[in-house]
Amino acid sequence: MSWTRICKTADVAPNSVKKIWIAGGIPVLVVNYGSGFRVVPPVCPHMEEPLEESGIVASCVLTCTKHLWAWNLMTLEKQGETEKPLKCYEVKEENGELMAFVDGELLYDFDKDDDMDDDAFFKS
């Protein structure tokens, strides 16, 4: 639980994303939306798509091109059909370094926990 160095702010060009492994073996996605940065989990909360491949940044919006879930990066408002919020690590810039406050890896809950007893499943 601490402020963790992520990368130099110059490492990620405006309107682009970059996947980075930080201390503790945690993968994050750095998003530069021109007027600021977001550090988020590297997968789309919809279908676990790898955002370093499917994510594009334009007009301050991060869009996963697989199924068009999207978030305003300034306000974090969901856009269009998007159903889940984007999880974010708190960030700050210090002397050209991008820092994030990391208290364990942020994860999305993908698998529905609906396992039924097999026998009951087949008899219902």
Partner 1 sequence: MPARNHAQWTAKPPLANDEWIDSRIYSDQEIFEQENERIFKKVWVPVCHESELSKPYDFRTMSIANEPIIVCRGPDNQVRAFLNVCPHRGMLIERRPSGSFLEGQPSGNPKRITCMFHAWQFDMKGNCVYVAREKEGYQDRLCKEEVGLRRLRCEVKFGGFVWVTLDDNPAVSLEDWAGKAFTCLQKSLDAEPLEVFHYHKAIINTNYKLWHDTNSEFYHDFMHYHNRVTGFNDAYFARKNEAFEHGHVVVGTFEVNYQNYEGFESRAALSFPHLPPNQWYMIDMFPGYNFNLRGSALRCDIVTPLGPDKVMIEFRGLGLKRDTPEERQTRINHHNSIWGPFGRNLHEDLIGVAGQGTTMRPGTESRRILHGRQENQTIHDENGMRHYYDEWGRWMNIMPNNPDQTWSERSTASAAVAAAE
DSSP helix/strand/coil, 77: coil
Decide whether 95 or 118 has the Cβ nearer to partner 1. 118
**Total residues at interface with partner 1 (CB under 8 A):** 16
Query: Under the criterion CB under 8 A, does residue 102 sit at the interface with partner 1?
Result: no
Shortest Cβ 86–partner 1 spacing (Å): 19
Distances (CA, A) of 41 to 16, 30, 71, 96, 124: 15, 9, 14, 22, 39
Query: Under the criterion CB under 8 A, does residue 25 sit at the interface with partner 1?
Result: no
Query: Under the criterion CB under 8 A, does residue 21 sit at the interface with partner 1?
Result: no
Lay out the sheet containing 2-8: strands in order across. Answer: 2-8, 97-102, 90-94
Shortest Cβ 46–partner 1 spacing (Å): 8
Region 37-96 residues binding partner 1, contact defined as CB under 8 A: 47-50, 66-67, 81
Shortest Cβ 115–partner 1 spacing (Å): 7
Q: What is the Cα 105 distance to its own chain's centre?
A: 11
Separation between Cα atoms, residue 78 and residue 21, nearest integer Å: 26
Nearest to 29 by CA among 89, 78, 76: 89
Answer for which of 83, 109, 115, 117 binds partner 1 (CB under 8 A) is 115
Binding site for partner 1 (CB under 8 A): 47-50, 66-67, 81, 110-112, 114-115, 118, 121-123
